[in-house]
Amino acid sequence: MERALNLQLLAAALGGRSGIPTAQELQELMAAIEVQLVLRRAEIPQRVLDAAWYLHAVASVDQARERYTAARQRQAFQVSAHIFDLALNQDGHNPIDRLSFGFAAAIGYRRGGRDPNATAIMNRLRADLHVERPLLDHIDTLALEAGLALLGFETRTLFRWLATWRRQLAELAQASGLQDLTTTAFGPTHMVVLGADDLLAYFAHGDRARLDRGRTRLRSAAVGQAGPGDLNARWVAAHLLSLAGEAEAGSLWNPNVLPPSVPDLVRQAFTVGNPPVLTLWEPQRELLTGPRSPFDPQVRRVVLAVPTSGGKTLLAQMLAVEHLARAGTGVCYVAPTRSLCREVRRAMGNRVHILQKETGPDRPDFPAVSELFVGPADPRPADVEVMTPERLANLLRHDAGAVMARFGMFIFDEAQLLKEGGRGFTLESTIALLDYLSRETGHRIVLISAAMGNAGAIAQWLSTNGPALRHESQWRGPRRLHAAFTTTAHFELTRAETVRGAPKWPYRLVTPLSGQIRLRMADGRTTMLSTEGDTGWRLVRKASTSDLVQSNLSIDDGRSTKRYTIASEMIVELGHGGSVLVVAGTRSLAQLLAQALADQLDELPGTAPLVDFVRLQLGDDHPLVAVLRHGVGFHHAGLPIEVLEALEEAVRDDTLPYLTCTSTLTDGVNLPVRTVVIYDQTYAGQAEDAKLRGARLVNAMGRAGRAGKETEGWIVLVRAAPPTERDFEDLNPDAEALAVTSSLTTEEALHAFAELEQAVRLDEDALFRAADSATSDFIGFVWLVLAIEEERGLDPAAVDVASVVDSTLAAQSPQARMACMPVAHATRQAYLRTDGDARRRWPRTGTSLGSARVIDRLAHQLAETILSAERDGTLADIRNPQIAIRMPHEAINELLHLPEAPEWRFSVSPRGAEIELRPADLLADWLAGTSLPSLAATHLADVVRPAQRIEQMVDAVTEHFEHYLAWTVGALVELVNGRLHAADSEQRLCPDLGSYIRYGVDDGRALILMTSGIRSRRLAHAIVADVPDDLEPTRETLRLWLARMGVAEWRLRYGASASEVLDLLDFTRPKGRSLLKTLLETGSVKVDLPAVTSELPAWEGPLTLDFVQGEPRPLPLAVYAGAQRVVTVATQDHTDLSAVLDAGIDIVVEIDRQAYAPSLSIRLPFSDENT
């Protein structure tokens, strides 16, 4: 609403036209309609529709430009599209009116520069597009249907729809004895369908001849040359004709968008990839057609500041794919969380597979040395690696030269997190180090962010050797409605109650509460919606007397209605609009809100598969299970990765209507919903960067409104404080609030630097005891650069420390630079005083220098123990992870006391006695594959409540096993084995022990599965238990063995869930192969079928390739002859053949039955059936 109801935009669009509402009146009417939608009411006054048709006419007619500027016509399209969009919410329209409103809205959004909203309109009216019905049953609306379908730009269905309508019209013409229908009343409709198909051929495949022919056909329909009929068809044709020219400017086949040097296959990676990109959105076009092209190899630094739903992720994908096609190096894509890494990896894979390139699987942040660059299962490095800043930093610490040799492009997503305390400097130092190492090379660094208020300053930081390309935009597709919710106490209705047994406060003053939602209009006015009747919400205060008017009384929290309960009842009322994401400040609040929401809702049968999956992972007692039954989930770092992924996927496919979360989700996952609720409840001692403010708030709000699915998103701020204007100011932070600065420039960090400088003057060793994360991280960065330079042959005494400091973002602040310089010089002096081998070893641990010294000492002790046992002949098989995990049990106890360690604590109740639990015992069961519920039952049997038992165990696994101990034990093992090697011993402590801990497996074959994309620990253990003993433990033998089974057998033998089947399908796919690429380049592909010819049934008629209906998802693929299933395709070909179907292109399917083993042949049609 902030854009669509802007008064200046309305005034410019209307131009003072009489006979229709004025700009002021129209703004008020449209705002009133928006308010009614919140209340589940929708009624559009006729005068508003009259204004919409007038604006649509102004925008549509080329001759109108003599009076109306192009900018005004664009504004008219936007406003009219918004009105028609609103009209679609009103029931009772006949099919022609509904489709007319839909087409007018969609074309208005396309031609008005709000492209994703057109797709959303098509999706909303999908049920009105008839493909299976007889042609004559909807011939009067077919032109509208075809036009609306084309505007959705959804190639997979669009190719099929247009082919069906094309065939039906051709059959009608043939039955009438005509070549086409241009001499009949159906001629314009026929030309619309054929013209739309031609435009699609150009946008998808770059066929310029089809574009020209499509324009000719559409022009003939628009001017009445195609036949006498239908005004709607001529209207659609005229708009599609205009769109052909306007959309061509944003087409990937336009040489002004992608340079002619870019191969066609790169363009097709987007136009026929998933999801398809037929034209670019406004900020994407502006960047790619600007004076400096990001594809220019001379542009080595790029900063993109584009809002969520503004298309920044697609821009990053285009830069990456173009780089892969042109350069001989890979792409490293860095995202802040593993959740976002998974999402990016999946999306990037869809793009690069068509180039026969591969994205790497999920890998630990701190892997074993043996799998730093190539995993235990990889025949060759992946072309695109998606990783966290921690993993990239670890790679650089171990072999910066190898990183720079492998990757030529580094893309950093969510770059605003530079400002965050703790991890912020990990990101900053990683970027700084890459910039420092690549000043004389062609490496490219790209920073992208949706919440960066000072993109110019960030670009300046990266402009040491030439100016960085900076691109900023405020464009976004879906509109947003801002609202703030609070409660009002009705003190005039207060009543007193007597409380027995409370001598100090014998009375309670009970005051009813009502709720208010304030909606912010575009002109700054606020509209108030209030609850009606008694809400049942109460404010209860303790009192010593029964006087009804008293002040400064304490609240009785036990009797007052909980704030989260009040919020949950309001949130449920918003659920009618679509999926709701509730962002809270803490894990406990997220869970409380989820429970309160579940209490308001009936059970939802549609979540049963998700409930079953979570029960399998967490057991029946985990609180997530209970709320999921009611369509509510909660998402935070205390849940296993598999569960988090399942929750995210359930929101994406609309299975889960409500999800509560902490802000780490909105910082790290692109999970758009209809409504975002910001539950802003601050607490004493809350860190400033933990509050829902600035970039954190912008990221959360950016999830409101699903581009391509909805045209509007709602944002509701919930606060307990009295309403103020500040509420809406916080929802619209300015550039200063969004400025991205170094975490070293905070007042606390500068104070820590000053204290450290003073301490070092008194004691040089104080450098190793730096407790503050800002100073210790900075020391570690300088130390790492010195170690890298020494490895490259430079005397560390000759390293320009000022240049090292100046590579950081912190150095852009004179005050921070002044604070950092003395510490940097002291770090070099400490480096020079340290033993040469040790000083180069320590950075590899990834810890502070003080902790690195401790780990190095532990490694020395453990290595001596192993060497002694080897000499005595008492050494067990320490390469076995189950034996190896027992070796360093004392060392593990020390690791748990380092400053970086999360708290290792278990208790019988939240305030009860502690439970002593040996880490090595729990680790042994974890590696053996024991489920989380069983781990909790075995090791935490004394915990009173089952829910707390499983929650404590999940926390231990996610914080310690999957992160901290996997990291530090891996670092310890690396140093131990280095010492064993130096001692000429052939013994090695299980080199992959850190990875075994990270994944919870104890077999090399299970580790291959887990590092090759299988996400389920349970599944990996089940497969390994089933693998023949004589099967060679390599990725390829495992792939072939599993591929022979098929989906049905996976489900039968391993109880594989839908997500596990998807992982197995990807695992069994031959890497480095793209059937779609081969098909597009050569016109045909062939794969073997999992059957012998004699087993195939007889069939008649043409064959098709389609998904098998009626089976659990993901559906298998099969070859059909009509409704007859002939054969199911091989499992290893499923993913590649699915990509062919997703492309939506016409294909001819044949089976070669001449050989004993039949093969499936897929080819493109020999001729164009449109002629």
Residue pLDDT, tens place only, 449-467: 988 999 999 999 999 888 9
Secondary element (H or E) of residue 1073: none
pLDDT value, residue 309:
74
pLDDT value, residue 990:
95
Determine the CATH number of domain 1075-1163: 3.30.70
Give Cβ neighbours of residue 254 (< 8 Å, ≥ 6 apart). Answer: 248
Give Cβ neighbours of residue 615 (< 8 Å, ≥ 6 apart). Answer: 625
Give Cβ neighbours of residue 673 (< 8 Å, ≥ 6 apart). Answer: 578, 579, 580, 581, 651, 659, 703, 704, 706, 713
**Residues 1058 and 1113: beta-carbon distance below 8 Å:** yes
Across the chain, mean pLDDT equals: 89
Tokens of 339: 């959740």
- Average pLDDT value for residue range 468-487: 89
DSSP state of 135: G
Burial of 809 (0-12, 13-18, 19+ CB in 10 A): buried
pLDDT value, residue 378:
56
pLDDT value, residue 36:
72
Residues 94-142 pLDDT 10s: 999 999 999 999 999 999 999 999 999 999 999 999 998 999 999 999 9
Percent of the chain past pLDDT 70, that is, above it, reads 94
Residues in the chain: 1171
pLDDT value, residue 32:
73
pLDDT value, residue 3:
44
Residues 490-525 pLDDT 10s: 999 999 999 988 888 999 999 999 999 988 876 667
Q: Which long-range contacts (CB under 8 A, 24 or more apart) does 604-607 make?
A: 604/629, 604/630, 604/631, 604/657, 606/631, 606/655, 607/631, 607/650, 607/655, 607/656
Tokens of 448: 């992208």
DSSP state of 847: S
pLDDT at residue 29 greater than cutoff 90: no
Burial of 755 (0-12, 13-18, 19+ CB in 10 A): middle
Q: At what angle do helices 187-205 and 231-248 cross, to 10 degrees?
A: 20
Tokens of 449: 């962010």
Tokens of 10: 């309305």
- Average pLDDT value for residue range 788-797: 94
Q: Which residue has the higher pLDDT, 367 or 102?
A: 102
Place of tokens 């049990």: 889
Q: Cα separation of 496 and 509, whole Å? A: 5
Q: Which residue has the higher pLDDT, 671 or 997?
A: 997
In 3D space, the residue among 455, 476, 418 whose CA is nearest the CA of residue 702 turns out to be: 476
pLDDT value, residue 373:
58
Q: Cα separation of 193 and 150, whole Å? A: 9
Cis preceding-peptide flag for 881 (omega within 30 of 0): no
Beta bridge partners of 1119: 1105, 1127
- Residue type at 857 in one-letter notation: R
Could you tell me the sign of the dihedral formed by the alpha carbons of 571, 577, 583, 588, in that order? Answer: positive
pLDDT at residue 2 greater than cutoff 50: no
Percent of the chain past pLDDT 90, that is, above it, reads 65
Strands 1124-1128 and 1148-1152: unpaired
Q: Which class would CATH give 479-730?
A: alpha beta
DSSP 993-1035: HHHHHHHT--SHHHHHHHTTT---HHHHHHHHHHS-TTS--SH
pLDDT value, residue 135:
93
In 3D space, the residue among 139, 33, 153 whose CA is nearest the CA of residue 96 turns out to be: 139
DSSP state of 1171: -
Q: How many CA atoms lie within 13 A of 712 on its CB side?
A: 19
Q: How many C-beta atoms lie closer than 10 Å to residue 882's C-beta?
A: 15
SS3 365: coil
- Average pLDDT value for residue range 755-784: 91
Tokens of 549: 């008017």
Q: Cα separation of 412 and 333, whole Å? A: 6
Tell me which range, 362-366, 855-859, 1046-1050, 1100-1104, is most confidently predicted by mean pLDDT.
Answer: 855-859
- Residue type at 456 in one-letter notation: G
- Residue type at 57 in one-letter notation: A
Q: Cα separation of 218 and 198, whole Å? A: 10
Residues 723-763 pLDDT 10s: 888 888 888 888 888 999 999 999 999 999 999 999 999 99
In 3D space, the residue among 453, 476, 481 whose CA is nearest the CA of residue 731 turns out to be: 481
The sheet carrying 301-305 orders its strands as: 384-387, 330-334, 407-412, 444-449, 301-305, 469-472
Angle 348-350-356 from CA coordinates, rounded to 5°: 95
Specify the CATH superfamily of domain 269-472: P-loop containing nucleotide triphosphate hydrolases (3.40.50.300)
Report how far apart, in Å, the C-alpha atoms of 109 and of each of 82, 122, 474, 972 are: 8, 11, 17, 58
Cis preceding-peptide flag for 1114 (omega within 30 of 0): yes
pLDDT value, residue 101:
96
User: Among the residues of 112-227, which ranges form H helices?
Assistant: 115-124, 142-152, 155-175, 187-205, 208-222
pLDDT value, residue 17:
58
Strands 507-520 and 479-489: antiparallel
pLDDT value, residue 764:
86
Q: At what angle do helices 1017-1026 and 1058-1068 cross, to 10 degrees?
A: 60
User: Among the residues of 438-577, which ranges form H helices?
Assistant: 455-461, 563-574
Alpha carbon 669 to chain centroid, angstroms: 4
**Residues 309 and 323: beta-carbon distance below 8 Å:** no
Tokens of 901: 């360690």
In 3D space, the residue among 701, 312, 711 whose CA is nearest the CA of residue 478 turns out to be: 711
Q: Which long-range contacts (CB under 8 A, 24 or more apart) does 128-135 make?
A: 128/95, 128/98, 128/99, 128/102, 129/161, 131/160, 131/161, 131/164, 131/165, 135/165, 135/168, 135/169, 135/171, 135/172
Q: Cα separation of 472 and 282, whole Å? A: 12
pLDDT at residue 1169 greater than cutoff 60: no
Tokens of 323: 């780089």
Report how far apart, in Å, the C-alpha atoms of 151 and of each of 115, 212, 240, 243, 273 are: 9, 18, 9, 9, 18
pLDDT at residue 20 greater than cutoff 80: no
Buried b vs exposed e over 394-418: b needs ≥16 C-beta within 10 Å? bbbbbbbeebbebbbbbbbbbbbbb
CA torsion angle 1111 1073 1140 346 (round to 10): 70
pTM, two decimals, is: 0.91
In 3D space, the residue among 773, 798, 774, 772 whose CA is nearest the CA of residue 786 turns out to be: 798
pLDDT at residue 374 greater than cutoff 80: no
pLDDT value, residue 377:
53
Q: Cα separation of 1151 and 1161, whole Å? A: 6
Alpha carbon 118 to chain centroid, angstroms: 22
pLDDT value, residue 491:
94
Q: How many CA atoms lie within 13 A of 755 on its CB side?
A: 13
In 3D space, the residue among 413, 415, 424 whose CA is nearest the CA of residue 688 turns out to be: 424
Lowest mean pLDDT among 8-12, 635-639, 897-901: 8-12
In 3D space, the residue among 70, 87, 76 whose CA is nearest the CA of residue 34 turns out to be: 87
- Average pLDDT value for residue range 603-610: 94
In 3D space, the residue among 863, 889, 875 whose CA is nearest the CA of residue 977 turns out to be: 863
Strands 658-662 and 580-584: parallel
**Residues 348 and 386: beta-carbon distance below 8 Å:** yes
